[in-house]
Structure 1
Amino acid sequence: MRLVFVLLLLLLPGSALAQTDALPPTPQQVVELAIDDFIRPAMAGFSVSTVKLEDAMGRLCAAPDRGTLDTARRAFGDAVLAHARIAFLRFGPLVEDNRQERLLFWPDRKGIALKQVQAALATGEETAASVDGLRQKSVAMQGFGALEFVLFGSDADNLATGSGYRCSYGLAVAGAIRRTARELKHAWMAEPGIATRMLSPTADDPDYRTTEEVLEDLVGAMAHGTEAIRDTRLLPFIGRDGAAPNARAALYWRSGMTMPDIGAEFAGIADLLRVSRIGEAGGADGIWASDAATFEFRNVVRALGVITGPTLADALADPKQLQGLRYLVILSQSLNTLFGERLSAALKLSVGFSSLDGD
């Protein structure tokens, strides 16, 4: 059901020209639309989802049974989807104070998070069972990856019959996630704050001296976001350079949230493109790039619809579903080019290198 919901999020209006009869937005109006109609609501929605997650974990710890465990697992999935919609906004508040890594320590090629979480569960590390204590520890122990292992990893079903420390630690992780999400929401709502700086660039601002520099962050987020989907979500488990597919190399393989997370990331980027009307600000070339990207997002919907599982391992073993996964890699590259080259050129922007470069 979650993947169906994500597919619905990706059903966009067909053309940038068809979205409105109004005049094309000015660059300033694009920024206003991006902040007021996408970023702020998405951050608020993410924050709400984490409050529900922490509440569900608290209920599980207070009254452990199959029902409260299932509720906590569903709340985890909902929060994962809400996070996926904002994960590509890798500028401003998300990259400050290690918030990106606090929420999701990924990629984790050395399995650092798993080792640290398993060690805490094995020893019953008391300082990791409170939000304040946990926030002083490694970021790898504080986010969605850690909580996924608590709820879905080895011996997780014991939570339904009472698993004192495991649940206490999981509740602390949920609380840490909620606190970080609240910080993000407050940072974007604050006046003055990041929104003020983006809406009113000044010559002495370290990041935003002109509106063009603000647009570079927005377009760069979409370009690098599609690149991240390819390089950190899809290729690790599909296989790079001829390597065999491996479902256990995927983010969220334990919870079954791999594909819903990927779909929600695509949906977040598509939503920012649509609501900001940024393509229209680039004239005919910008509208072409926006419409081409919308076409590719519709192809994403079709590709996601092919991947029916029922598990990720089943999808990788099915030639048709594996072809759909590989098509998503192609689509993410196409979208990266459309944003990083065609749309940025139409807007006369210089989109910098990705934070993934050299990783």
Structure 2
Amino acid sequence: MRKFLSVILLMATPVYGGVDHGVDVTLEFYQRFDDAAQTLAQSSCQGDDIIANYHRAYDAWNGASIVSFGPLEQQGGALALAFWPDKKGFTTKALSRLITDQDKAIENGEDFATVSIAAHGFLALEMMLFDPDFIQFSEGSYSCKLVDRITQDIAGKAATMNAAWKSEFAKIVRDAGDATNPVYLTQQEAAQAYLTSLSGALEFIETSRIARPLGTIQRPRPKRAEAWRSARALPNIQATLIALDEMIRALGDDATPETNEAMAALLRFLPTINDPAFASVSELGVRFQIETVQTMVHNVNEAMRVELGTYLGVNLGFNALDGD
């Protein structure tokens, strides 16, 4: 594989057209998230509908979140919608404080914006809908109104980002390098933003979504998995990888064969894992499967950084999660 990638590196020339295709896919992702989030916000605070709509919106969020620059950055980054890792239990504390105090900040979006970020987004909603310490509430109660406010806040952010991409930011990316462009002085800067964002999403899967629950073989940490209460540790990874596969193919114009092959193998392997919450990471068989996914994700990232970076004429010489 390394020999093949080296040949690609020598032969390829920078191409910007793929970024235009990437913008098209980005617009689709943010429209899907907006649509799903609006449906979620219209759900009753209890029952099967809100659970189903929570999962649909979370899937759509995972797709949109792979494009972490621009409007998402302006919202405060991914933490504004998915406060995780939460190493000190801030979400539990923030929600408990609101409920205990019957805080009126949930009565409107402007006041809710001043509440701890840990009480916003999908992980806060998950706790309200799936955690035994929070789910015992009735229609019309403070907790029900809190669920409504969280879903409305998600929908508001989704709508804002979707509108920003459609009204302004798509054109900014497409017109990178124009003398009047307010963000990207060169086309390579916009291409670099995409490559950094995608690599960061893959690295986040490898070093957080997988590594945190794996812990060590002597001390696995299943409750450090993302969204384990709603059994979304694996579905979040899968939804993200499906979106990454679509985006890489759009940006690369089929010039990323090694990456595409590695991703296809990874997506075929994921359904063999019968533990969506990563609850059984202490079992050697399950642990081996999850470690295999971790290695495969790393390999996809390595191939993508070379193939896609070469095709777009940019490279990454730093940890994508640093945001430098």
TM-score normalised by the chain length of structure 2: 0.88
Q: Per the alignment, in what secondary structure is the counterpart of residue 158 of structure 1?
A: coil
Please report how far the alpha carbon of residue 71 of structure 1 lies from its aligned counterpart in structure 2 after TM superposition: 1.4
Does 2:165 match 1:188?
Answer: yes
Q: Is the 8 A contact 1:27 1:211 kept in 2?
A: no
Give, in whole Å, the separation in 2 of the partners of 1:154 and 1:163. 19
261 and 311 in structure 1: CA distance in 2 versus 1, 3 angstrom threshold = closer
Give, in whole Å, the separation in 2 of the partners of 1:183 and 1:194. 12
Give, in whole Å, the separation in 1 of the partners of 2:311 and 2:26. 23
Aligned length: 312
Give, in whole Å, the separation in 1 of the partners of 2:274 and 2:203. 24
Give, in whole Å, the separation in 1 of the partners of 2:318 and 2:182. 18
Please report how far the alpha carbon of residue 265 of structure 1 lies from its aligned counterpart in structure 2 after TM superposition: 0.7
Q: Is the 8 A contact 1:296 1:335 kept in 2?
A: yes
Counterpart position of 1:302: 268
The residue type equivalent to 1:295 in the other structure is E
Q: How does 1:1-359 map to 2 (within 5 A)?
A: 27-36=15-24, 38-56=25-43, 59-60=44-45, 68-159=46-137, 161-162=138-139, 164-190=141-167, 193-201=168-176, 202-203=178-179, 205=181, 207-239=183-215, 244-276=219-251, 278-280=252-254, 287=255, 290-309=256-275, 311-314=277-280, 316-351=281-316, 353-354=318-319, 356-357=321-322
Q: Which runs of 5+ in 1 are unaligned?
A: 1-23, 61-67, 281-286
126 and 199 in structure 1: CA distance in 2 versus 1, 3 angstrom threshold = same
Q: Is the 8 A contact 1:117 1:141 kept in 2?
A: yes
Q: Is the 8 A contact 2:214 2:220 kept in 1?
A: yes
* More off after superposition, 95-104 vs 72-81: 95-104
Please report how far the alpha carbon of residue 237 of structure 1 lies from its aligned counterpart in structure 2 after TM superposition: 0.4
TM-score normalised by the chain length of structure 1: 0.80
Please report how far the alpha carbon of residue 228 of structure 1 lies from its aligned counterpart in structure 2 after TM superposition: 1.0
The residue type equivalent to 2:308 in the other structure is L
Q: CA offsets, 1:184-226, max 9 Å, x none?
A: 1001100xx2111111122464541222222111222221111
Please report how far the alpha carbon of residue 353 of structure 1 lies from its aligned counterpart in structure 2 after TM superposition: 3.1
Please report how far the alpha carbon of residue 312 of structure 1 lies from its aligned counterpart in structure 2 after TM superposition: 2.7
Identity rate, percent: 22
Q: Which runs of 4+ in 1 moved over 6 A?
A: none
243 and 333 in structure 1: CA distance in 2 versus 1, 3 angstrom threshold = farther
Please report how far the alpha carbon of residue 356 of structure 1 lies from its aligned counterpart in structure 2 after TM superposition: 2.5
Q: Per the alignment, in what secondary structure is the counterpart of residue 313 of structure 1?
A: coil
Please report how far the alpha carbon of residue 244 of structure 1 lies from its aligned counterpart in structure 2 after TM superposition: 2.0
Give, in whole Å, the separation in 2 of the partners of 1:205 and 1:40. 20
